[in-house]
């Protein structure tokens, strides 16, 4: 008999039975359709027929949109797909993210020139320039020395965005991180250190580069010398653009961090007619795309909020979907076409915090942005690619029954073919979750030095302190709490990236070139070919 119905973060969770400890046990989310052998056969043949009827679009693309889910590995895709379906009260496994409907896909090998498991700087540089490079550097070749500014000159690798500007196309970057962060930065900047986002960053990290006035990433965005400059730059990081003597335009008690006295937001506006800077959702919505020529959107001092928190707190930050659609409206005014990069950047940062909930919700929002973009373009003259720069160590484990809450404790199908009445137990007699991390601060091994939260998530939401004899008993822990940090095998201050291949999805012009196992830098050549940028 069902004894409890509870709603958690819009997930309708049906609960039945009592566990061995007397706690209610969740019932799986229901499969919404009647299934049989004939159902699976029909679905399979329908998929084959769709593939056979798929239009192959060849020729030259007018527009290219590159979506980048930072850290969006295959396990993240699977978990987010199920998470989204369960938000609708469905079992979730049969759900598909918007870009999983694209006709072409491949695997991308994400190693960099000097690392098996890479960070975002060399991986995005490979995608944007076609050249693999070293850890921590942006759009330069591997002939430079990391953090040595003197080695940059002559080793810059031209980006697809720069090429697009040079032929008169409009360009833009959209991100939920700072616009000077590694992924957007690789589109327009060339530097020996991805962390040189402002002159203060350089002064702190490399005094000789600061004394030499090597241009920080924010400066390189404003001083961009290709074409007439980026038409769109939406994201966060106002502190990188404002001097330390000036108050933030939204938070008067906060000052910028620049040491050179330059207000780069004012320089953006003064550089060309039709330029504007916007700071919140309302200002962005008010922008007339037919009149706007160059729009800089800086919606937070540091990174933007996770989508979960943006929605719950009703913040005046725009969603990734809203930024994407506004960017397309502005860029599409150019009859020569455009290049747009859109990053779901905080997927990565939630994973680093060991917090699967926020990573999955930000992945769903990226899917929403892709769906909105597809609805606004003509795929006969546009190429859309969705990929990740690298993976994370998120794992999907155990043998949970179909529809088992993706954030919950594992319940299995018994040997009799029926759902077992209690959660599955490990050899300590304790239940465990489907989602976990290989590394991170959710470590719960045989130690009394447990992860006790962080500045970002100060509460000890796992409900464990000072465990000295193995894993905690999660029976009475709310693993669906949005701030719950999944257990981790290796204790680290932050969860690490994963080194396995990531997925690429493509639709539109030249999308058929995405197939098989690809080097990550080959994505650049697909895009360059679509734009007709082949060497003479």
pLDDT digits (tens, 9 = 90+) for 302-344: 999 999 999 999 999 999 999 999 999 999 999 999 999 999 9
CA 140 to chain centre: 23
Query: Looking at the domain assignment, is residue 226 inside a domain?
Result: yes
Over residues 421-439, mean pLDDT:
93
User: What's 342's domain CATH number?
Assistant: 3.40.720.10
pLDDT digits (tens, 9 = 90+) for 187-211: 999 999 999 999 999 999 999 999 9
The answer to whether residue 463 scores a pLDDT higher than 90 is no
**456: confidence class by pLDDT, cuts 50, 70, 90:** very low
429: confidence class by pLDDT, cuts 50, 70, 90: confident
Residues marked active site are found at: 120
Query: Is 306 inside a domain boundary?
Result: yes
pLDDT at 464: 45
pLDDT in the model for residue 21:
64
Residue 109 parent element (H or E): strand 104-109
For residue 325, give the 3-state DSSP assignment. Answer: helix
Within a domain: 55: no
Number of helices followed by number of strands (H, E) in the chain: 15, 18
**Would residue 212 count as lying in a domain?**
yes
pLDDT at 503 over 90: yes
Res 377: pLDDT:
98
Number of domains, the chain? 1
- Neighbouring residues of 149: CB distance < 8 A, sequence distance ≥ 6: 191, 192, 206, 208, 209, 212, 214
User: pLDDT at residue 235 above 70?
Assistant: yes
> Residue 110: is its pLDDT beyond 90?
yes
Average pLDDT, the chain: 92
Looking at the domain assignment, is residue 416 inside a domain? no
Q: What pLDDT shows up at residue 442?
A: 85
Q: What is the mean pLDDT of residues 473-478?
A: 88
pLDDT at 365 over 60: yes
Which of 31-35, 77-81, 508-512 has the lowest average pLDDT?
Answer: 31-35
Q: Quick one: tokens of 272?
A: 């060309």
The closest of 382, 485, 476 to 435, measured between CA atoms, is: 485
pLDDT at 22: 62
Tens digits of residue pLDDT in 375-404: 999 999 999 999 999 999 999 999 999 999
And the tokens for 270?
């003064």
Within a domain: 377:
yes
Note the pLDDT tens digit of each residue in 43-78: 999 999 999 999 999 999 999 999 999 999 999 999
pLDDT of residue 111: 98
Identify the domain containing residue 191 by its residue range: 63-70+118-384+518-531
**Structural domain includes residue 422:** no
Q: Mean pLDDT over residues 370-375, rounded? A: 98
Mean pLDDT of 464-486: 78
Residue 449 neighbours by CB distance under 10 Å: 11
Q: Report the C-alpha gap between 61 and 91 in whole angstroms.
A: 39
């Amino acid at each position: 008999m069902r004894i409890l119905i509870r709603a958690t973060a819009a997930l309708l969770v049906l609960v039945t039975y009592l566990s061995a400890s007397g706690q209610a046990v969740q019932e799986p989310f229901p499969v919404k359709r009647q299934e049989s052998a004939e159902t699976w056969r029909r679905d399979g043949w329908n998929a084959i027929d769709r593939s056979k009827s798929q239009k192959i679009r060849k020729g030259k693309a007018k527009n290219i949109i590159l979506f980048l889910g930072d850290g969006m590995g295959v396990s993240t895709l699977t978990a987010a797909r199920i998470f989204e379906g369960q938000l609708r009260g469905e079992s979730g496994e049969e759900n598909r993210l918007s870009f999983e409907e694209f006709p072409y896909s491949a695997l991308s090998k994400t190693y960099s020139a000097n690392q098996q498991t890479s960070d975002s700087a060399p991986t995005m540089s490979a995608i944007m320039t076609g050249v693999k490079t070293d850890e921590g550097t942006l759009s330069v070749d591997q002939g430079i020395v990391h953090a040595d500014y003197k080695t940059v000159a002559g080793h810059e690798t031209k980006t697809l965005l720069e090429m697009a500007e040079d032929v008169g196309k409009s360009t833009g970057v959209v991100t939920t991180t700072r616009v000077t962060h590694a992924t957007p930065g690789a589109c327009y900047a060339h530097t020996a250190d991805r962390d040189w986002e402002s002159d203060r960053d350089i002064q702190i990290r490399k005094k000789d580069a600061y004394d030499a006035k090597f241009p920080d990433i924010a400066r390189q965005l404003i001083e961009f010398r290709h074409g007439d400059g980026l038409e769109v730059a939406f994201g966060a990081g106002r502190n990188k653009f404002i001097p330390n003597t000036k108050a933030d335009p939204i938070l008067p008690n906060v000052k910028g961090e620049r040491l050179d006295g330059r207000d780069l937001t004012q320089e953006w506006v003064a550089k060309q007619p039709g330029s504007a800077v916007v700071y919140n959702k309302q200002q962005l919505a008010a922008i007339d795309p037919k009149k706007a020529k160059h729009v800089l959107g800086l919606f937070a001092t540091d990174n933007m909020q996770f989508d979960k928190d943006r929605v719950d707190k009703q913040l005046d930050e725009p969603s990734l979907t809203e930024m994407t659609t506004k960017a397309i409206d502005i860029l599409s005014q150019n009859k020569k076409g455009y290049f747009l990069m859109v990053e779901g950047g905080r997927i990565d940062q939630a994973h680093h915090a060991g917090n699967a909930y926020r990573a999955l919700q930000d992945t769903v929002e990226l899917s929403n942005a892709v769906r909105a973009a597809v609805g606004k373009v003509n795929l006969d003259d546009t190429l859309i690619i969705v990929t990740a720069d690298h993976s994370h160590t998120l794992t999907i484990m155990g043998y949970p029954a179909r529809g088992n809450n993706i954030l919950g404790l594992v319940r299995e199908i018994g040997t009799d073919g029926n759902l077992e009445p209690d959660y599955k137990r490990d050899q300590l007699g304790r239940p465990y979750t489907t989602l976990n991390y290989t590394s991170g601060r959710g470590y719960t091994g045989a130690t009394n030095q447990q992860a006790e939260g962080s500045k970002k998530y100060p509460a000890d939401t796992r409900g464990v302190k000072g465990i000295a004899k193995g894993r905690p008993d999660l029976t009475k822990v709310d693993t669906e709490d949005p701030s719950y940090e999944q257990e981790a095998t290796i204790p680290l201050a932050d969860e690490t990236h994963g080194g396995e291949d990531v997925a690429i999805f493509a639709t539109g012009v030249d999308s058929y070139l995405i197939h098989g196992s690809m080097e990550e830098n080959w994505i650049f050549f697909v895009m360059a070919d679509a734009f007709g940028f082949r060497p003479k």
